[in-house]
Amino acid sequence: MSGIAPPRPHADQSSPRPEPTPEPERKTMHLRPVWIVLILLIPCLALTFYYSHFLAPSGEETDSFLPTTSYAFVLLLLNLDLIGFVVLLLLLSRNLIKAYFERRHRLFGSGFRTKLVAAFIGFSLIPTVLLALVASGLVNKAVDVWFSDQIEQVMRDSYDVAKMQHAGHITLAVNSARAISHEIYREDMLLTEHRDLLVAAMARKRTEFGVAGIEVFSAKMETLTKALDLDIPSAALDLPIGQLVLQVITGKQEVNAVQEAQTGRLVRAAAPIAASGRNGEIGGVVVVEAYVPESLLAKMEGIGHQYDEYKQTKAMKNPIKVGAYLFVAVITVLILFGATWFGFYVARSITVPIQRLAEATKAIAQGDLSVRIEATATDEIGTLIDSFNHMTADLQGSKSEIEAANISLRHSNLELDRRRAYIETVVETIAAGLLSIDKNGLIMNFNPSGERILGLTADRFHGRQANEVFKEFHLDLFQTVYDRMLADQRDTLTIEGPMEIDGRFLTVGLHGSRMKDEANKDLGIVLVFEDLTELIKAQKVAAWQEVARRVAHEIKNPLTPIQLSAQRLRKKFFEKSPDFDTIFDEATNVIVNEVTSLKHMVDEFSKFARLPTPQMAHQSLHDVISEVTALYRGAHKDIELMVELDEDLPSLNFDREQLKRVMVNLLDNAIQASQQKGKVWLSTKYDTKRRRAVVSVADEGPGIAPEDQEKLFVPYFTRKKTGTGLGLAIVRRIITDHEGQIQAGQNQPKGAVFTFELPV
């Protein structure tokens, strides 16, 4: 309802009239009891419905009127609902009585209000009563149908079928294990010469019995064969089985177990296999696995849960009926009360908004744009009032909004200018060169550091095609990175190489990155480069200093025994010692052996220093690996070489002999680390995203000490007594010449793993 303030009294009035109570305040006082009752009654009805349907007792059948605490609580809620029902009736009666007295006293609007209320009550009374009667009958019939014996029987039968389904998996596994055990014993399949027959028979039996898997173990718990269904998740089939097999072997009787996995339930039945020719002895164990998928388990548990819920809900049959009847009655009263209240509301709210709208229109005509009409009407009049308020608000706020928009736009432009200036300053002041190319191949930026590194001015680059500039200034390294990023659609690419610019030789490290906007749209390519000439020179000087130091150390080691042998020989010669011949032979042997060691070390160093240029050719890396592994399979009988090759790996561009030398060095190190026994793993993998071939060689040796991690590929560093320390240095040199990378790490659970990558 909306109210209009009373007009001011005229000056000629003799006595002031008492001011009436404001209309909004009288409306609030009038509706306050109604809202209080509704706020209390509606949650109470919701709790009654929820508690009687979903929080019923535990399903125990009883004839007691109050079998559980929940039942008593539901009755309490029903009483509260009844109290609210009575209060609503009283409020409805109060409104009607009030309307009657207003009609008798002929108050303003009472006639219109009475007619409107009577019309609302008349139009709503007959359909509401009919609806209440029909709803009560439907509720009674629906509750009887919901809790009929037939439905309970169906629920019980469904629950029994679910339990029988689970028991059927166990029976299938037990019977299958027993039958397979008898057949293995009858056909003597545990004999070594019948192993192929055992493997084929188990695969056939798994399909024949329709089980998830069949596993056969020897009396020593060794796995003889496995026939597994590849459609079953490996997480279920990989569950521990050793304890089950051990129970069968020790107990000499059938054992079954149910194991839970994240993807379902695995039923295992194990049966002993009698040993041929030995009464009472067990020759092996057969384990049959039946798989119950997660979906079937969920359905079984759902059937059981629904059956329990049904039994619990059935105990609340009578309270549900009473609550439904009460709910229908309360709804009926609410409809009648709503009709009455709505009649009063409409009567009071028709004239007041129109009067306020007339007053506000007059104020607008006088130029007051700040006027607003306060009204809560939601009909066409309310829409008109809202439109009027919006119109005045738009007129009043349009100027301030425009000014605010102008200020915000100026601030945004200033912020963009600051950001652009900051980015330009960063690009111009970084030490690395930067060259940006848009998606059309035009060079957009070339910073001062790039000018300094290449010795070329930026005006010779800006706005020109990148391919044209690279060709003109012989920037072959830039052209290579740009072409490879475009051809392979790569996001990043890093490369190092020599360049000659105007007679100057540089070693440049170049990194390319693809630019993309927030919508992942390609904007072009950024090339960042550095002059690595002096850095590489310093690294080479430091490396060769370290090599020279180590060579001097290695040469000094054999010189000491040579010197001592010569001094001993000289002494014995002058002393005319009778055992001079023996000493002469020993001393000369020492000298010859040490000189041979020096010669071998010099030869290895010469090979490292004169490593030939790779003769590159497109060929299969797997052919080289197969050729090398064939040599080791026959030469090391105690080494189990585990080879896993990625069939998707395409051909590579490499030097066949140098890659063979890499594989030989890595396999030799792995076998020596494993002390000539154990397992050595060799695998290949194709990284499609980076277009790289990844090769790994792992062993079960002692691993790599943390302090040796950074020294592995340094020339003449070795922990082996007979090594020269050049093997891994040569390997790294070859991989680097092939534009690849190599690294070493710890293998899990023990050992070391060497991994190198080559570009495809």
Query: 273: which strand partners?
Result: 284
CA 251, 252, 254 angle in degrees (round to 5)? 95
Top-tier CATH class for 617-759: alpha beta
Torsion of CA 181, 186, 191, 196, to 10 degrees: -80
| Continuous H helices in 455-532 | 466-472, 476-488
- The count of C-alpha atoms lying within 13 angstroms of the C-alpha of 254, restricted to the half-sphere facing its C-beta, is 17
On whether the CB atoms of residues 714 and 729 are closer than 8 A, the answer is yes
On whether the CB atoms of residues 265 and 258 are closer than 8 A, the answer is yes
Q: Residue by residue, what is the 3-state secondary structure of 725-743?
A: CCHHHHHHHHHHHCCCEEE
- DSSP code for 147: T
The encoded tokens of residue 365 equal: 């005509």
| pLDDT tens digits, one per residue of 244-266 | 888 888 888 888 888 777 777 88
d(CA 632, CA 19) in angstroms, rounded, equals 113
On whether the CB atoms of residues 515 and 524 are closer than 8 A, the answer is yes
- CATH number for the domain formed by residue range(s) 173-303: 3.30.450.20
Region of 576 please: left (phi>0), alpha (psi -120 to 50) or beta. left
The encoded tokens of residue 532 equal: 């690595």
On whether the CB atoms of residues 275 and 252 are closer than 8 A, the answer is no
The encoded tokens of residue 392 equal: 């005045």
pTM over 0.75: no
What pLDDT, on the 0 to 100 scale, is given for residue 147? 66
On whether the CB atoms of residues 201 and 227 are closer than 8 A, the answer is no
430-531 homologous superfamily:
PAS domain (3.30.450.20)
- Which residues in the chain come in under a pLDDT of 50? 1-29, 56-67, 108-109
On whether the CB atoms of residues 190 and 218 are closer than 8 A, the answer is yes
On whether the CB atoms of residues 437 and 527 are closer than 8 A, the answer is yes
Tokens 């194990």 identify what position?
A: 270
On whether the CB atoms of residues 427 and 445 are closer than 8 A, the answer is yes
CB-based contacts of 372: which residues, under 8 Å, 6+ apart? 360, 389, 392, 393
Cβ neighbour number for residue 446 with a 10 Å cutoff = 23
| Continuous H helices in 188-316 | 195-209, 234-237, 242-251, 294-314
On whether the CB atoms of residues 173 and 256 are closer than 8 A, the answer is yes
Q: Which amino acid is at 263?
A: T
d(CA 364, CA 370) in angstroms, rounded, equals 8
| pLDDT tens digits, one per residue of 29-58 | 455 666 677 777 777 777 776 766 665 444
d(CA 674, CA 404) in angstroms, rounded, equals 77
d(CA 689, CA 695) in angstroms, rounded, equals 16
SS3 236: helix
- CATH number for the domain formed by residue range(s) 537-609: 1.10.287
Which stretches of 322-371 are assigned E, i.e. beta strand? none
Cβ neighbour number for residue 23 with a 10 Å cutoff = 17
d(CA 180, CA 186) in angstroms, rounded, equals 10
What pLDDT, on the 0 to 100 scale, is given for residue 377? 61
- DSSP code for 5: P
